Amino acid sequence: MAELDRETLKREMTAWRRDLHAHPEFGFEEKRTAAFVAAKLREFGLDDVTEGVGGTGVVGTLKRGTGNRAIALRADMDALRIAEQSTAPYRSGNPGVMHACGHDGHTAMLLGAAKLLAGEGRFDGTVRFIFQPAEEWGRGALAMLDDGLMQRFPFDEIFGLHNMPGLPIGHFETRAGPIMSAEDNFEIVLRGLGGHAARPHSGNETLVAACALVTNLQTIVSRRLSPADITVVSVTELITDGTRNALPGLARILGDARSFRAEVSAEIERQMRIIAEGTAAAYNVAAEVNYSREFVPLRNDAELVEAAFAAARNVFDPGNIALAREPMTASEDFARFLDHVPGCFVFLGNGEASAPLHNSSYDFNDDGLVFGANFHVAIARQRLEV
Ligand SMILES: [Zn+2]
Ligand SMILES: [Zn+2]
């Protein structure tokens, strides 16, 4: 790509990214964002642009040459229910909603790649540009798949990326095998008999039982699972119906568990039920455990990781390309596509000064846009070599 084009495209992507940032939309509500994406893809001259895939998803298709292989490049479009702390002129104009995970940047990068590939080609086959809704809910990829994504827009493999605060701009990381975890949610409801704070023996309150249960749940990771398995069990909320002078008859414990294998997730649930029932029995209250699986683990295909590293060498300084040391215990619904085809998910630096993801001061760093767009282009050309 000529240097002038690169600068022009960078300016365009920055304008798109800031426009999207100023108009953030929550999962499955990305109507303006999807219309913006579809209008750009049509302007670039793609062979097909289909809206409304899995709710607000958009799929663009670009064909060149005679090759019958197809690859997919994926971006996510949704924002979060967080009130933005920013004085930027392009700050959120949708109160209480903001792009705090950089999906505005991911969308702008993939649009940039679509413009480059539509304009310059130099690949043989089909590229599917997948703009998915509702990644943060862990529902958007499934919605597109349930809407016939693989049948209507078939592809052989898929690539995606996420910006990474703390990693310098122009840096690239990925790894083969597990890279992001499953996320399970749980709710444990304890039911006893509330009563007067001055007469605890006359009721059967739930708060002391709940405190014991929160402590006992810590033994799932520390005493029940292998130290070789990376796992997290986090209690995040303890809510009771107690008040001044009144002991609670009801306590709810909510939380989140992370793991990298389905068997481990199943074992966390099994141990949680044993501990909840045993603890409840010891305190003479009843326990009900509700356990749900929100995200599945993301496992990168080893061959496609090699391909991604090779493509990255065309885009990043070789000294800035690294093997991610360990899997992350955060989750990504990109993993849902990998139930159907092999794929690879990579991380790009958002700068060392970046606020963390999901922080009210976070902002996507526009200096990363060119790297992301060029990586998409490089991997498409490599996998669909002329
Ligand atoms: Zn996020
Ligand atoms: Zn994200």
> For residue 352, what pLDDT is reported?
97
d(CA 221, CA 312): 37
The values of phi and psi at residue 229, to 5°, are -90, 125
> Would you list the DSSP string of 298-352?
EEE-HHHHHHHHHHHTTTS-GGGEEE-SS-BSS--GGGGGGGTS-EEEEEEE--T
Torsion sign across C-alpha atoms 220, 222, 223, 226: positive
Q: What is the DSSP pairing of strand 172-174 with strand 321-323?
A: parallel
Percent of the chain residues past pLDDT 70, beyond the cut: 99
Which ligand sits nearest to residue 137's alpha carbon?
1
Predicted confidence band of residue 210 (pLDDT cuts 50, 70, 90): very high
Give the number of whichever ligand sits closest to the CA of residue 164: 2
Average pLDDT over residues 148-175: 98
pLDDT for 325:
85
Rounded to the nearest angstrom, the distance between the alpha carbon of 193 and the centre of ligand 1 is 40
Q: What integer is the mean pLDDT of 143-169?
A: 98
- Cα-to-centroid distance, 129 and ligand 1 (Å): 20
Nearest listed ligand to the Cα of residue 132: 2
Residue 307: phi and psi, rounded to 5, are -60, -40
Expressed in angstroms and rounded, the spacing between residue 59 Cα and the centre of ligand 1 is 21
Measured in angstroms, how far is the CA atom of residue 133 from the centroid of ligand 1? 12
* Rounded distance from Cα 331 to ligand 1 centre (Å): 9
Cα(147) to ligand 2 centroid in Å equals: 22
Reduce the DSSP state of residue 8 to 3 states and report it: helix
- Cα–ligand 1 centroid distance for 228 (angstroms): 27
| Ligand 2 centroid to residue 162 C-alpha, Å | 6
CA of residue 357 to ligand 1 center, whole Å = 6
Q: Quote the CA–CA distance of 135 and 345 in Å, as a whole number.
A: 14
Given pLDDT bands bounded at 50, 70 and 90, which one contains residue 1? Answer: very low
Three-state SS at 142 = helix
Where is average pLDDT lowest: 228-232, 323-327, 349-353? 323-327
d(CA 131, CA 150): 14
Cβ neighbours around 66 below 10 Å, total: 7
- 371 by Cβ neighbours in 10 Å (0-12 / 13-18 / 19+) ranks as buried
Rounded distance from Cα 221 to ligand 2 centre (Å)? 26
Reported residue count of the chain is 386
Mean of the per-residue pLDDT values for the chain? 96
pLDDT (tens digit per residue) in 292-335 = 999 999 999 999 999 999 999 999 999 999 999 899 999 999 99
Q: How far does residue 363's CA lie from ligand 1's centre (Å)?
A: 12
* DSSP H/E element including 269: helix 262-282
Q: Residues 185-191: what's their mean pLDDT? A: 98
- The better pLDDT of the pair 1, 214 is held by 214
- Segment 351-372 shows an average pLDDT of 97
Give 18's pLDDT tier (boundaries 50, 70, 90). very high
Ligand 1 center to 100 CA (angstroms):
7
Ligand nearest the Cα atom of residue 358 = 1
Reference 367, options 386, 356, 353; nearest CA is 353
The CA distance from 108 to 367, in Å, is 12
pLDDT digit string, tens, across residues 101-134: 999 999 999 999 999 999 999 999 999 999 999 9
The residue-averaged pLDDT of 282-290 equals 98
Percentage of the residues of the chain whose pLDDT score is greater than 90: 97
Cα dihedral 115, 120, 126, 127 sign: negative
Q: How far does the centroid of ligand 1 lie from the alpha carbon of residue 7, in Å?
A: 29
pLDDT (0 to 100) of residue 7: 85
CA pair distance 178, 229, nearest whole angstrom: 11
How many whole angstroms from 48 Cα to the centroid of ligand 2?
27
Closest CA to 346 of 1, 109, 29, 64: 109
What value does the mean pLDDT take over residues 52-60? 98
Instruction: Give the model's confidence band at 46: pLDDT under 50 very low, under 70 low, under 90 confident, else very high.
Output: very high
Q: How remote is the CA of residue 32 from the centroid of ligand 1, in Å? A: 20
pLDDT at 6: 73
- Per-residue pLDDT for 4 more than 80? no
Tell me the ligand closest to 364's alpha carbon.
2
pTM: 0.93
Distance CA 38, CA 60 (A): 8
Task: Please state, in angstroms and rounded to a whole number, the distance separating the CA atoms of residues 371 and 286.
Answer: 55
- The whole-number average pLDDT for the span 214-235 is 97
**Cα separation, 243 vs 249, whole angstroms:** 11
Task: Tell me the backbone φ, ψ of residue 26, rounded to 5 degrees.
Answer: -75, 165
Q: Give tens-digit pLDDT for 363-381.
A: 999 999 999 999 999 999 9
Separation of alpha carbons 144 and 149, rounded Å: 6
Which one, of 132, 48, 174, 164, lies nearest residue 336 by Cα? 132
CA of 93 to the centre of ligand 2 (A): 20
CA 232 – ligand 2 centroid, Å: 20
Rounded distance between C-alpha atoms, residue 87 and residue 34, angstroms: 26
Report CA(356)–ligand 2 centroid distance (Å).
11
pLDDT at 2: 45
